[in-house]
Structure 1
């Protein structure tokens, strides 16, 4: 659970590795962005500094993301030779994705942002994956991001060229995908870890589809690039909130967990 992440962050604060930001007079103030994603099946962390990705780490997570995330952040910061108090912005994915993973990433990003006194920007998983597709990859038609929800439905969002969203992020049954996309420009470029299922359904529905491989989960490096385009130093951001498209799998026990008489 995300409480483990909070405890690790408290240890970092106490140890002095996360220090309140300060600048000496005359110091050069670079813009540094830290991106965090644990919303899907991976853990991705990246540092962007004045136009360049200077450190990043991506891995599929077979163990708890709460165990992996903070050590990964430390590793990326160390490789970048940047202290947490030199960060200017935190960026994190807000969903859709795994309920617990979303909470872990959000809790971590918001905690670090609060400690070092910087803003925190939230991005959807679908827009991050969409932005990983080069603008030159599709000159016409529609880009569809299709992600696994771990249930019968899938998470989807459609984009026009230039990564402009033309739909809301939605959770729909694959059988309804053709109807949901009715009227959008063709062909349909499909990306995400549920692309195969989406292509199968759309092909049967008469759509022309083109598969874009290898882009299945959000990439922290892409997140920092989006953030650098959307945020300017001094901008005040609202605290990012989770985007849940369905209730969590965890259910409260009957009688609130109390023993029945």
Structure 2
């Protein structure tokens, strides 16, 4: 099976092509904005580097959140559009799960892993896993002090907002794993989840409403403002 996978659900953008677990091409870039301009050229670059065309791709893997609203939307829109055009299935992978699988087994041994993703607000997006990477619950958005209740005992922290919890749990260990999802890991998870029928649907996991301001309600008969 040949898999194209990509992620832009946090402050980065990455894409990879794997065939039977072997990495054929991978690109990654940390970025706080600009994923909409970067993702498609990055996908084209990894396909070109792998020497593959769309007929040779079997599956698309994509992260579905939680993370940044814009990044999640960009990734899912790309996955849906490409899947529709190339008649391919999509395997959705949770952002927290992708991050958890980037943490080395040696670090996880004897500890509960808490993946912590920046929400751009005072709260955090978190999900706890045991040392075998079995989820201890679904991802959730909550205050930092509440997040620690998800992971009693020896604690390992990972993710781009993990450092925010260190002050609250000085005994916690900060993982050396990358703080953003790796498209190679997303691809491997997509292969396993698709084969088992346990992949997430290509739908966003936002956990809270987007930060938007709705236009003021117009009274009946009130005309639309004129552009000048």
TM-score (normalised: structure 1): 0.79
Q: Secondary structure at the match of 2:141?
A: strand
Match of 2:104?
134
Cα pair distance change 1:239/1:114, threshold 3 Å: farther
- Greater shift in the superposed pair: 212-221 or 93-102: 212-221
The answer to whether the Cα contact below 8 Å between 2:193 and 2:199 also exists between their aligned partners in 1 is no
Match of 1:74?
44
Match of 1:259?
225
CA distance in 2 between counterparts of 1:91 and 1:158 reads 22
TM-fit CA distance, 1:258: 4.3
Q: Deviations over 1:36-77 (max 9, x none)?
A: 111110011000112201101010125421111111110110
CA distance in 1 between counterparts of 2:75 and 2:145 reads 31
Matches within 5 A, 1:23-62: 31-62=1-32
- Greater shift in the superposed pair: 250-259 or 147-156: 250-259
The answer to whether the Cα contact below 8 Å between 1:177 and 1:202 also exists between their aligned partners in 2 is no
TM-fit CA distance, 1:94: 0.6
Q: Deviations over 1:225-255 (max 9, x none)?
A: 112222239x697741100111111232223
TM-fit CA distance, 1:84: 1.6
Of 137, 143, 160, the residue aligned with 1:193 is 160
Q: Secondary structure at the match of 1:111?
A: helix
TM-score (normalised: structure 2): 0.90
CA RMSD of aligned residues (A): 2.2
Name the structure with the higher helix share.
1
Matches within 5 A, 1:166-185: 166-181=136-151, 184=152
Gaps of at least 5 residues in structure 1 are 1-30
Q: Secondary structure at the match of 2:167?
A: helix
Match of 2:204?
242
The answer to whether the Cα contact below 8 Å between 1:119 and 1:237 also exists between their aligned partners in 2 is no
TM-fit CA distance, 1:192: 0.9
Q: Is 1:229 the equivalent of 2:178?
A: no
Of 124, 127, 131, the residue aligned with 1:161 is 131
TM-fit CA distance, 1:96: 0.5
Cα pair distance change 1:49/1:258, threshold 3 Å: farther
CA distance in 1 between counterparts of 2:108 and 2:169 reads 18
CA distance in 1 between counterparts of 2:160 and 2:189 reads 21
TM-fit CA distance, 1:169: 0.4
